[in-house]
Amino acid sequence: MNWTPGTPTLETRGSRSVALGQKGMVATSQPLASVAGLDVLRQGGNAVDAAITAAAVLTVVEPTMTGVGGDLFALLHAGGDGRTHGLNASGRTPAAASLEALRARGHEQMPDTGLFPITVPGAVDGWARLLAEHGTISLADALGPAIGCARDGFPVSEVVARQWQDAAGLLAADPAAADTFLPDGRPPAPGERFSNPRLAASLSAIAAEGPTVFYAGALADAIGQDIERRGGWLTAGDLAMHESDSVDPIRTSFRDTELVELPPNTQGFVALEALNILADEPLEAFGHNSTDYLHLVLEALAIAFDDRAAHLADADAMPAGTLARLISKEYATGRRDQFRTDRALGQSVPDPTPNDRQAGDTVYLAAADDQGNLVSLIQSLYAGFGSGIVAGETGIVLHNRGAMFSTDPEHPNVLAPSKRPLHTLAPALAYRDGRPWLAYGVMGGDMQPQGHLQVLLNLVCFGMNIQEAGEAPRARYDPSGISLEEGIDEGVLRELVSRGHQVGPDLGFGGFQGVLVDQHSGVLMGGSDPRKDGVALGW
């Protein structure tokens, strides 16, 4: 099949065909969540309704990665007003959190798990905000399928079962977590049915009373009292102070495409900066995943991640003008002049924030409808089963997003009271010729902006379809060194090493979901990464 560069084809070169639909499309990392979202679309709901329904189901069927006790970010192109909306539903530190309080408890660095990395969870408020402002169904209706899965049980999928096994030691260390997630004293096996009746009760309370019960009602009291009893910082008062924020998305252009990300405290600008650095390169001429191509991609990412390490924090803690400078074309030109095509810049300074534990990461989903709504949504517990702490009898595992804070008092991301941490969660949208074209994301900590960059280049420069673009082998930059996924020629790694790149550990290559709108026919095209358990479904 012949194709014009920049025009994705329907030629089947991935492991499965592109999912197609005319009225709606949902792509998630779990079939049960995709089916739940598609059912909402078929019953007359819009893409926002479908996205929140699917997101809630994911908190039940993929508990290794996401939960009611985590955070959420979303980008939405709304068909009703034709605008791009951004939502930051990430929580802040407890008011009692500080460097002094951390050191008084014997920690010189932020611990990865336990009581002290717990920040206020924002996902529940994010669900309610999105539905109230852009949805057509109630929060109670959206939570119905998730409640059913938690109450009646579901068969555990293969990838999730492996991640559950990896986290068995963490869960066993907390009696409430072990009682909830280690039935019979062990993680469930693939295909084994698991239920969480306590979580079902908590979700039912949220359905009946709305987000108030989680932030200022019985659930807030249960969570706060349990953490205070254990000596942690989070209180019911901290939950009551939570507020999600509508934010203006950030963006850059690349040929006829515009990539849209969210501003700090999350890392979306890394993808924009790297894309700007590559803007004038003849990428197609190098060949996909060739040495020359990956050298440039990895060098651009190294520079962008160095800037992330230096600057990314709660937006209120970053100096005015920093973000605008980092995503400007002029800044990218100056940065591009710093590296060569035949030699790596050299190993960068270590990032002051930890990498995701490999036991888990994140869930991402995309949804679209025939009313012009295009949703890009991501939510997470940060690491596998988050903090490893389940709050009392709620069945809710709390995230460990505070592990991303620095303990350097001079860094903008330093631990402080009522502050959002540096966040890895990054959903993406792309526009083509000014029209909504693509909702996509690549899960997996620091892999997220790297995946955004590579998937977009797969589509725009190499003409891949949405499925192939998401599953094509990827490269990963880390301050400790680079890694290449299986499927990239072994000689490429040797050549990159000869140019000065260091080989780092295999930290994983994430998992993709995406929905693309064909600009000519309006047909919806979905892709779902075989690295995960999920599926894209359309009608």
Q: Are the beta carbons of 134 and 78 closer than 8 angstroms?
A: yes
Q: Are strands 374-380 and 389-390 parallel, antiparallel or unpaired?
A: unpaired
Q: Helices (DSSP H) in 312-414: which residue ranges?
A: 322-326, 329-336
Indicate if 362 belongs to the active site. Answer: yes
Among the listed residues 235, 248, 298, 252, the one whose alpha carbon sits nearest the alpha carbon of residue 76:
248
Does the pLDDT of residue 311 top 60, yes or no?
yes
- Burial call 92-127: b when 16+ CB within 10 Å, e when fewer: bbbeebbbeebeeeeeeebbbbbbbbbbbbbbbbbb
**Per-residue tokens: 498:** 């000869």
Q: Are the beta carbons of 113 and 439 closer than 8 angstroms?
A: no
Question: What DSSP character marks residue 281?
Answer: S
Looking up tokens 């007359």 gives 44
| 3-23 residue pLDDT tens | 334 455 556 567 889 999 999
CA distances from 346 to 233, 349, 366, 497, 505 (A): 41, 10, 37, 11, 17
| 383-422 residue pLDDT tens | 999 999 999 999 999 999 999 999 999 999 999 999 999 9
Q: Are the beta carbons of 439 and 75 closer than 8 angstroms?
A: yes
Does the pLDDT of residue 451 top 60, yes or no?
yes
| 159-185 residue pLDDT tens | 999 999 999 999 999 999 999 999 999
Instruction: Say what the pTM is.
Output: 0.94
Question: What DSSP character marks residue 349?
Answer: P
**Per-residue tokens: 173:** 């260390």
Does the pLDDT of residue 359 top 90, yes or no?
no
CA 383 to chain centre: 11
CA 525 to chain centre: 21
Question: What DSSP character marks residue 184?
Answer: G
The per-residue pLDDT for 11 is 60
Compute the distance between CA of residue 91 and CA of residue 71 in angstroms, rounded to an integer: 7
**Per-residue tokens: 73:** 């970010």
Q: Which of 59, 291, 353, 362 is catalytic?
A: 362
Mean pLDDT over each residue of the chain, to the nearest integer = 94
The per-residue pLDDT for 147 is 98
By percentage, how much of the chain surpasses pLDDT 90? 92
| 455-508 residue pLDDT tens | 999 999 999 999 999 999 999 999 999 999 999 999 999 999 999 999 999 999
Does the pLDDT of residue 352 top 50, yes or no?
no
Does the pLDDT of residue 353 top 90, yes or no?
no
Q: Mean pLDDT over residues 208-222, rounded? A: 98
H or E element at residue 395:
none
3-state SS class at 390: strand
Band (pLDDT 50/70/90 cuts) for residue 356 is very low
